[in-house]
Amino acid sequence: ATPTALMVGTGRSAKMGVLIKNGQALEEVNDVKTVVFDKTGTITAGKPVVTDVVGNQEKVLQVAASLEENSEHPLAAAVMAKVSEAKITYQKAKKFKNIEGKGVKAVVNNQKAFVGSDKLSNDYLLSDEMKKQMAKLQNDAKTVVLVGLNEKIIGLIAIQDTPKKTATEAITELRSRGLKTVMLTGDNQRVAQAIGRQVGIDQVIAGVLPNEKADHVKALQQSGKVAFVGDGINDAPALTVANVGIAMGSGTDIAIESGEIILIQNDLLGVVRALDIAKKTFNRIK
Ligand code: ADP
Ligand code: MG
């Protein structure tokens, strides 16, 4: 590629909110066979909101608040917003521990407590009734966190994070160009499938721990070049391993550093634009 052609390509894309850090990345976009997306903050808006509380609402939110007050996870922010809206007062937790990709644990009022996925619930009793309610909420595309206290699950908090306005359109466009689309998430299988259905994605890989994302990208590379689109700290290794790393402008610094293409407007249609620009740029030179 000539430098001039590359500059034209990257200049045009910048106007559309697609920042291309290097020409080689743009050239590789032409050979991509699979586009892999992170869920939270990439396919979804990343603004989760509490929609349902199962159990004694005050008690459940009280325990959850003591734990989530210490967490920087987007789900924690959703819980704290609900707690302040419902004017719930709560105690300070002790021995706070973040369990990455699973939730948080601490001691509240001298009792062991946790908030998080069922991956943390091993020692806690989950009734059949709770299991049923959980499945129902998850099928509605809601992330359900369990609240455990003193070896019992005292309640559930359902949290909704809706897909971005252009997510379905972007995925439809990519598929019509013959690309395979995949969603990779730490969230539960049911929730991931429900959101996957909403946006029409080809494949959903759920329950992935943060340190496993890059391995999934490597596995998908067996069938051709992969672009990975993400925003979080835990997306950085996958962004690096992918043939083309595409980061959200709203993402964490480390994600933006790891990506070769940045979507300034956080709009997934930027992926489609990058493809079109790559095609135009490199066709013209040939
Ligand atoms: P994602 O890949 O969707 O960004 P994470 O890997 O950050 O998800 O988290 C995976 C799951 O772990 C969440 O869906 C949630 O069930 C649980 N989890 C993680 N952190 C927290 C927290 N602070 N509070 C409640 N649940 C949490
Ligand atoms: Mg994310």
Residue 266 pLDDT: 93
Provide the CATH number for the domain formed by 3-45+163-285 in this structure. Answer: 3.40.50.1000
The amino acid that residue 75 corresponds to is: L
The rounded Å distance from CA 170 to ligand 1 centre is: 25
What residues have their beta carbon closer than 5 A to ion ligand 2? 38, 40-41, 231-232
The rounded Å distance from CA 116 to ligand 1 centre is: 7
Residue bearing the CA closest to ligand 1, atom 22: 103
| Predicted ipTM of the assembly | 0.95
The rounded Å distance from CA 203 to ligand 2 centre is: 17
List Cα–Cα distances, 101 to 115, 162, 203, in angstroms. Answer: 12, 20, 21
The rounded Å distance from CA 281 to ligand 2 centre is: 30
The pLDDT of 92-115, averaged and rounded, is 96
pLDDT in tens, 104-120: 999 999 999 999 998 89
**For residue 2, pLDDT beyond 70:** no
Residue 1 pLDDT: 45
**What pTM was estimated for this model as a whole?**
0.89
Residue 126 pLDDT: 87
106 lines ligand 1 (CB under 6 A): no
Average pLDDT over the chain reads 92
Residue 11 pLDDT: 65
> Is 128 marked active-site?
no
Residue 124 pLDDT: 84
Specify the residue for token string 């990257």: 10
Residue bearing the CA closest to ligand 1, atom 25: 116
The pLDDT of 72-100, averaged and rounded, is 96
| Residue ranges per structural domain of the chain | 3-45+163-285, 49-160
* Arch. (CATH architecture) of 49-160: 3-Layer(aba) Sandwich (3.40)
pLDDT in tens, 184-232: 999 999 999 999 999 999 999 999 998 899 999 999 999 999 999 999 9
Residue bearing the CA closest to ligand 1, atom 8: 186
The answer to whether 102 and 75 are in contact (CB under 8 A) is no
